[in-house]
Structure 1
Amino acid sequence: MSVDNDTLVRAFVEAFATKDTDRLLPFLHTDVVFRNYGDDEIRGRDALLEMWRNVFDTFEQVSFETVHQAVNGDVVIAEQVHGLGLPGRAPAPVMNLAVYELREGRIAAWRDYTNPDYARALLR
């Protein structure tokens, strides 16, 4: 069953609350390229899922909330709040702008734009 790109990205974002990389896998193209500015680029679905396994192991809570989302064909731009909670601490509301490029019904490119200094300050 095919879903529109708006619905696909919203479902992908909601899957993060499960902290289960198996839930992320169907949304990602095998050749996905992830760029979280300030960090090294990650290429390939397996490498990206491994990175998220590490994030899920580090944070007790991980959730993404979409504030606004715009779709233009195979490009989705989403203003998000990433809720990242270290063990025993309240989640830090990290503001983020994500750009997703879809190919063959899956996310082939994903770029996150977050102020890393702001994120680090919230997580302290």
Structure 2
Amino acid sequence: MDAAGTVDEFIKAWGRLDPDELAGYFTEDATYHNIPIMPVTGRQEIRDFIAGFIGPFTAAEFTVHHQAVHGDTVLNERTDAFTFANGKTLEILVMGVFELRDGKIHAWRDYFDLAAVTDALAKNS
């Protein structure tokens, strides 16, 4: 599978909210960096971060609006939507960068407005 296909499958996998499945897309030494906060390095650490993040949600859907690929690098502009148990939704406008190595994600950087996300979490959780 090429880089775009791997990222597309990873994006779809978020809908299952399974941190073990999601972690399986990463190399052992991968880094996941939500740019407003500290990076997380290592497949197990990424898995644990994802597990903690998705805890309050019952559903997730990522919508890719634009995607560009250059070799093993994929950039996408997307809306990440997460549904709380109370039915309210958190939508995050994101610019993502994925760098792949040997068919797995080696680096993932997401750029978004942390203040907007923090405010939405406070109002909806």
Q: Does TM, scored on the shorter chain, surpass 0.5?
A: yes
Partner of 2:63: 65
- Higher deviation after alignment, 43-52 or 87-96: 87-96
Aligned residues: 122
Q: Which amino acid aligns with 1:57?
A: G
**TM-fit CA distance, 1:119:** 1.9
Partner of 1:16: 14
Partner of 1:45: 43
Cα deviation, 1:64-122, whole Å, max 9, x if unaligned, reads 12111100001100111110222203222211000000111110000000011122333
CA RMSD of aligned residues (A): 1.3
Q: Which runs of 5+ in 2 are unaligned?
A: none
TM-score (structure 1 length as normaliser): 0.91
Q: 1:101 aligns with which of 99, 102, 116?
A: 99
Q: Percent identity?
A: 27
**TM-fit CA distance, 1:37:** 1.5
Q: Which amino acid aligns with 1:39?
A: I
The question of whether the paired residues in 1 share the 8 Å contact of 2:16 and 2:59 is answered with: no
Partner of 1:76: 74
Q: Which runs of 5+ in 1 are unaligned?
A: none
Distance 1:32 1:63 in 2: 23
